[in-house]
């Protein structure tokens, strides 16, 4: 069985532990997944800061509260091109274009807004 060394964790692992089938990938699956998670967290925090870092309907704010409680609520659902799960994979220019259609809400206030509508 062929093995290679991950550039991130410096561990020798079987080729099957790497995503790239051509065996050129530098990070093992675990390190690559961790890298993606960290990148997505940084993008969400940047987006929260772009929207002012506080819930529009209550006193919750980042970094007083963890980033995970914040949602981006589209003011006009008809203008929504894509949700956060897909948006976070796009360029910052495309992200801000979509964020400009939104307000920042904590998850509780977001649910209340949807309940009222």
* Residue range of the domain that includes 11: 3-116
Is the pLDDT assigned to residue 91 strictly greater than 70?
Answer: yes
End-to-end CA, the chain: 58
Task: Tell me the C-alpha to C-alpha distance, in Å, between residue 26 and each of 16, 36, 89, 91.
Answer: 13, 14, 21, 23
Structurally, how many domains does the chain consist of? 1
Average per-residue pLDDT for the chain: 91
Residue 22, pLDDT score: 54
Residue pLDDT, tens place only, 1-39: 688 899 999 999 998 898 876 555 688 999 999 999 999
């Amino acid at each position: 069985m062929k093995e290679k060394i991950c550039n991130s964790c410096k561990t020798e692992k079987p080729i099957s532990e790497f995503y790239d089938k051509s065996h050129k990938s530098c990070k093992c699956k675990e390190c690559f997944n961790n890298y993606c998670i960290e990148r997505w967290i940084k993008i969400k925090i940047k987006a929260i800061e772009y929207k002012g870092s506080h819930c529009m309907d209550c006193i919750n704010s980042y970094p007083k509260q963890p980033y995970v409680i914040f949602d981006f609520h589209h003011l006009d659902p008809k203008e929504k091109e894509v949700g956060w799960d897909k948006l976070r994979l796009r360029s910052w220019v495309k992200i801000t274009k979509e964020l400009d259609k939104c307000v920042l809400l904590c998850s509780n206030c977001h649910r209340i807004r949807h309940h009222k509508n």
